Amino acid sequence: MLNKVVCLVLPGTAPFEFGVVCEVFGVDRSAMGGPALDFQIATADPGPVATSFGFTLQVDNDLSIAADADLIAVPAHLVGGEIIDERYLEVVRAAAARGAWVLSVCTGAFVLAQAGILEGRRATTHWMHADRLAEAHPNIDVDPDVLFVQDGTIVTSAGTASGIDAALHIVRVEHGAAAANVIARRMVVPPQRDGGQAQYIPTPMPENRADSFAEVTEWMLENLDQDLTIDQLARRALMSSRTFARRFRADLGTTPAAWLNRQRILRAQQALEQTDAGLEEVAQLAGFGTAAVMRHHFLKVLQTTPTAYRRAFTCRLDEVMAG
């Protein structure tokens, strides 16, 4: 279970991406049902470390504190032709070798690449740097069109705010949807986001949009337990079914059916975590109709069953609240 998180501060670290890691993993939100993690920052040579904007961060911990971390996070940093200090690379390699999570934000992917842990894997970085990463490391399958990629326990994110998406994804996997939602609400961001570089994890929660689909998506969320058809949704949007489907995909990055299915899974996750309702009741509440259909979708999308999900995450939520 994710407990100890260490953020590496390299020379030239970008303040915003560093702040993203601190905000997601470093704030105790246990009073609201969120996780309280052991969060530390570390650098190779303790003391002042220059950021990409010229001011310095005072970092008192050396890299030895990362030896037992459950997650090593590498924020963006200035990228040039320089070779990354081997001491950082060793920390990253050791974490990957013991099966810990390794997260990069934006150009932090170059550290993971130099450490060799992305070889033969799919990864991403900011679209401005994707070609450079691919050229420097031809054995990495660099995808410039996603917000983040998970390959095993290695998660690489695209530019800037996509680090929030990637970090919340790790919290969701380790602590459940309810814990990730607590963090997202406090940060005033969607628990899962679409747009940007076309998110790898499919069909996320909608943002509060001031566009033609805001009213329709809100209505869909309010009526997940109903049998919703494309024709019905198109009529609410005052469009033909064909135009609705095309514009929905263009604006939200997925089909109406896939988006709806993902929202139903999220609704079921929350019900499984936070209520004692039986599986048939949860399935009806989320719009799957039957527990068997819900189980099919859980296995397909989450690679687990509703029963196993409830067992794992209600226990974890109880532990968080007790702590």
Helix (H, G, I), strand (E, B) or coil at 41: strand
Q: What is the mean predicted confidence (pLDDT) over 240-261? A: 88
One domain, residues 119 and 39: yes
Residue 252's CB: how many other CB atoms inside 10 A? 21
Mean of all residue pLDDT scores within the chain: 88
Strand pairing partners for 151?
154
Tell me which of 158, 186, 214 is where a domain ends.
186
Task: Provide the token pair at 265.
Answer: 């899974």
Pick from 308, 280, 310, 275: which is nearest to 293 by CA? Answer: 280
Gap between the Cα atoms of 176 and 94, Å rounded:
26
Residue 199 covered by a domain: no
Name the residue with tokens 């296995």: 299
Q: What is the mean predicted confidence (pLDDT) over 238-257? A: 88
Say whether pLDDT at 94 is over 50: yes
Whole-prediction pTM:
0.68
Residue 195 covered by a domain: no
Domain assignment of residue 319, given as a range: 206-323
Residue 271 covered by a domain: yes
Residue 274: predicted pLDDT: 85
Q: What is the mean predicted confidence (pLDDT) over 155-175? A: 92
Name the residue with tokens 């079921």: 268
Amino acid at 115: A
Which comes out higher in pLDDT, residue 252 or 117?
117
One domain, residues 20 and 152: yes
Residue 193 covered by a domain: no
Q: What confidence tens digit (pLDDT) does each residue in 227-246 have? A: 999 999 999 989 999 999 99
Tell me the CB-side half-sphere exposure of residue 69, using CA atoms within 13 A. Answer: 28
Strand pairing partners for 57?
49
Say whether pLDDT at 162 is over 80: yes
Instruction: Evaluate whether 170 touches 155 at the Cβ level (below 8 Å).
Output: yes
Say whether pLDDT at 195 is over 50: no
